[in-house]
Amino acid sequence: MRLTLSSEGVRNTVMTNENGQVLYKTSTPYRFGTRTTALYKVVPNADPDDMRDHLETIGEIEWHLMSSSVMRLHGREMMTDTFIPSHGFTRRKRTFTGPDGLSYRWDMDFRIVRVRTYPKKSYDFPALTGLVWVLDAQLSRDDASRQELARSHRRSLGIIGPKKDPSLDVDPSLMHMLDMVVLTFIYVEKLRMDKEKRAKHSNGGGGGP
């Protein structure tokens, strides 16, 4: 399954499937202090006289800077420092246990992207201006197989190749826990975006929480 995002800002976005049907929506109202991202899921309307689907709140992430953030999903509360802890020197790996009892891991992988600038009147001779670190989020089984099960894709403006919206590809074997995949993706993607901003500001130096 491919979930297409209306915005790369995962805390305020709409996720649709291949048919353009809305499946999830996130909303993070602006406020001073602690901010909370609500995760909504489209559910069928039980009213036979009203065929419109409606949004139901299924989870949220309460973001904290100086302490553990808090995830909630279907009434279950999880502290991020214990439910989805970081590992490794660079802290780009985060593991969690799914509702099926299996262990999964999100990895934020670095890749290098060339940034080019173009003349105002012609696109025939782009000038290379530098290299930028970019992170992609990848979900796999946290075992010897390291089977890839989900991967995020950045927005493509179509300068090289076709134009594409940001998306998340999810393996069919995870449909039983898609809600948790989406919630944990929102969490790691927000961290990935923060890391990328810091890397750009430090000229590709990297680092992160």
Give pLDDT tens digits for 36-93. Answer: 999 999 987 777 666 577 899 999 999 998 999 999 999 999 999 999 999 877 778 9
* Residues 97-145: tens digit of each pLDDT: 999 999 999 998 655 444 444 444 444 444 444 444 455 789 999 999 9
| Strand, coil or helix: 209 | coil
Q: How confident is the model at residue 163 (pLDDT cuts 50, 70, 90)?
A: confident
Question: Going along 64-126, which residue ranges are E strands?
Answer: 70-73, 76-79, 86-87, 93-97, 103-117
Rounded CA gap, 183 and 39, in Å? 7
Query: Concatenated DSSP letters for 21-79?
Result: -EEEEEE----SS-EEEEEEEEE--S-TT----EEEEEEEEEE-SSS--EEEETTEEEE
pLDDT of residue 13: 97
